[in-house]
Amino acid sequence: MDKSAKFKELREKYQEFVFENYSVNENENEIFLEYEFQITGCAKFRPTIRILKKNINMKNLDSKTIKYLAFHIGLIELVSYWKCTCSPNVIIKCGFLSEEQKEWFKKLYFNGLGELFFTNEIKTNLKDFMNITCVGEKIEINNVEDKQKKTNNGYLIPVGGGKDSCVTLETLKFDNKKDLCLIVNPKPVTLECARLAGVEDQNIVEIYRKIDPNLLELNNKGFINGHTPFSSLLAFLSFFVAYITGKKYIALSNESSANESNVVGEKINHQYSKSYEFENDFTNYVSKYIKEDIKYFSFLRPLNELQIAKIFSKYKKYHKTFKSCNVGSKEKEWNWCGKCPKCLFVYIILSPFLYKEELLEIFGKDLFEDKELLETFIELTGNGKTKPFECVGTFEEVNFAITKTIKNIEEKNQKLPYLLEYYKNSYKLHDMTEDITKRFNKENNLTEEQEKLLKEAIFGD
C-alpha cells in the first residue's frame, strides 16, 4: 500500500480523535500534568509531564489560570497522537475554543506537520485536514493582578544542549538571583551546559515528558509517523513555567535561519514552530486569550547561524560538552554520530572559526574527509532536491561558511579535504562581497536593551 492510500484508509477507518480529559496535581516535590486522548476504535493514550518543584510555590496563584494553561499544553500534546491516523474529526471534551482559536490551532497543526505530510506523501489542505469540535466547558480566567504574585524582570531560558542556548545564556549574562533555565527531559549534556554558564541547580527547572507506550506500539505497526512541532509545545510549556515562577521573559534561542523552507517553492519547514511567524502568532494568541504579562521571544532572532557559530566559537568552555546531534541524543551517552545532516551542518558552520584541530577535538574526526557524507553535503548546499529535514541553517549560510573555510585553508597553502575539494570542483564559490556575519535582522521582538547586548556580542570585536 502506498503512503497516500494508507492516509485515506486510516482516516476512513478511524474518524474520531478525542481529547478526553486532563488534570493538574502537585505534591511536595513535583507538579504533575496528565492527559487522556483516544483514537476511537483504535487506542487510548495517557501522556504525562512532571515538573520538579524545587523552590516553586503555586499556592498564591490563580487555579483557573493554571488549569487553562495546562489545557493548552494538552492541545499541543495531542498532535503527536493524532498524527497516527490523521482522523478528520477532533473532539475536545474537556475544554472550549472559540472559532478563532480553532483556526489558530489548525494553522499551527497544518504548518507544523508540513514535513510529516510531505514525507508521507499526504495531499491535504488547511480547510479539510481537520475539523475541531468542542463540547467541554469554557474556563473563565480573571487576569486580576495578584499582589502575592511576585512577577519580576527575570528570564526563563530553555536549554537544549546545543550551541544556540549556550550563546543565549552567556550573552544575557544569566543571573541566579532572578533567572531560571528550563530543560525538558534533562541529560548530563544539557545539565552540564547550564552549569558551565554558572546556573545553580536550584535555578534549573527540570521537566520530564513521558510519551505513552501505545504511541510507540502504533509506530511499530506502521501507522503514520513523522515530525511534529515540538517547539510549539515548548512555547506553551515554558509559558506555564514562567507563570508559576513569576518570570517576565521567556528567551528562546531561535535564529533568523529557522524561517527558511526545506522545499523550494513550498511552505514546508521542519522548523516552523521556531519561525518568526509562529513567534508572532504565539505572542498574539497569549496576548488575546491568556493576557498574562509574560514576553515570549527569541533572543537570537536577529542573527543567522553563522553569526551564532562565530560567537560560540569563542566560548571554549562549552566545546567538549555541547551536543546538537539528534541521532546521538537517543543513546545513553549523548555523542556526535558524525553521520547525520545535523552533525555535518554544525561542523560546516563552525569551520570558518575552528577548523581543523579544534573541530577534531569536538567531533573526533574530520567530517570533510567522509565520502559517505557527500549526498548530505550536496543537500545542505542547496544542490539537492530538498534541504535536510533537520534544524539546519540556510543555503546561503552553508555556502558562505564553506567558501570561507576553503579560502582559509588555501591561504595556508594546505590541501583541501574531500568534501571541500568536491565543492570547489563542482560549484562556483559563494560571492563573499557581503560579510553575512555583519547582519542584524530587524524582524525581531527584542527590547532596546536586549538588542544592545546582542550587538555587543556579535559586533564587539
Q: For residues 397-405, give the mean pLDDT.
A: 97
Burial of 442 (0-12, 13-18, 19+ CB in 10 A): exposed
269 and 365 both lie in a single domain: no
**In which element (H, E) is residue 91 found?**
strand 89-92
330 and 220 both lie in a single domain: no
30 and 133 both lie in a single domain: yes
Q: Which of 108, 92, 95 is nearest to 69 (CA)?
A: 95
pLDDT for 210 beyond 70: yes
Amino acid making up residue 361: E
83 and 143 both lie in a single domain: yes
Burial of 296 (0-12, 13-18, 19+ CB in 10 A): buried
Residue 39 phi, psi (nearest 5):
-95, 110
48 and 186 both lie in a single domain: yes
Query: What pTM was estimated for this model as a whole?
Result: 0.93
Count the Cβ atoms, other than its own, within 10 Å of residue 268. Answer: 21
Does residue 315 fall inside a structural domain? no
pLDDT of residue 71: 98
Does residue 317 fall inside a structural domain? no
Does residue 455 fall inside a structural domain? no
35 and 168 both lie in a single domain: yes
How far apart CA 87 and CA 390 sit, in angstroms, is 26
pLDDT for 148 beyond 50: no
Does residue 459 fall inside a structural domain? no
pLDDT of residue 256: 81
Confidence at 386, pLDDT banded by 50, 70, 90: confident
Choice between 91 and 144, residue whose per-residue pLDDT is larger: 91
350 and 230 both lie in a single domain: no
Q: Which of 299, 270, 282 is nearest to 393 (CA)?
A: 270
DSSP strands (E only) in 124-254:
131-134, 155-158, 180-184, 204-210, 249-252
pLDDT of residue 268: 73
pLDDT of residue 295: 96
Q: Which of 263, 229, 236, 260 is nearest to 250 (CA)?
A: 236
Does residue 107 fall inside a structural domain? yes
339 and 280 both lie in a single domain: no
How far apart CA 418 and CA 108 sit, in angstroms, is 41
SS3 200: coil
How far apart CA 132 and CA 129 sit, in angstroms, is 10
Burial 113-150 (b: 16+ CB within 10 A, else e): bbbbbbebebebeeeebbebebebeeeebeeeeeeeee
Averaged pLDDT of the chain: 92
Residues 273-276: contacts with CB under 8 Å, at least 24 apart: 273/108, 273/112, 273/229, 273/230, 273/231, 273/232, 273/235, 274/231, 274/298, 274/391, 276/301, 276/443, 276/444
Does residue 281 fall inside a structural domain? yes
Q: For residues 17-37, give the mean pLDDT.
A: 97
250 and 203 both lie in a single domain: yes
pLDDT of residue 271: 81
Amino acid making up residue 310: K
Express each pLDDT in 36-49 by its tens digit: 999 999 999 999 99
Q: For residues 154-168, give the mean pLDDT.
A: 95
Express each pLDDT in 345-376 by its tens digit: 999 999 999 999 999 999 999 999 999 999 99
Domain that holds residue 185: 3-298
- At which residue does the C-alpha cell 495531542 appear? 78
pLDDT for 460 beyond 90: no
Q: Is the separation of the CB atoms in 200 and 176 below 8 Å?
A: yes
Does residue 448 fall inside a structural domain? no
Tell me the CA end-to-end span of the chain in Å, nearest whole number. 58
216 and 345 both lie in a single domain: no
353 and 289 both lie in a single domain: no
Count the domains in the chain: 2
Confidence at 112, pLDDT banded by 50, 70, 90: very high
How far apart CA 226 and CA 243 sit, in angstroms, is 31
172 and 226 both lie in a single domain: yes
Residue that finishes a domain, picked among 298, 315, 341: 298
How far apart CA 362 and CA 349 sit, in angstroms, is 13
Does residue 314 fall inside a structural domain? no
Burial of 269 (0-12, 13-18, 19+ CB in 10 A): buried
Q: Is the separation of the CB atoms in 159 and 169 below 8 Å?
A: yes
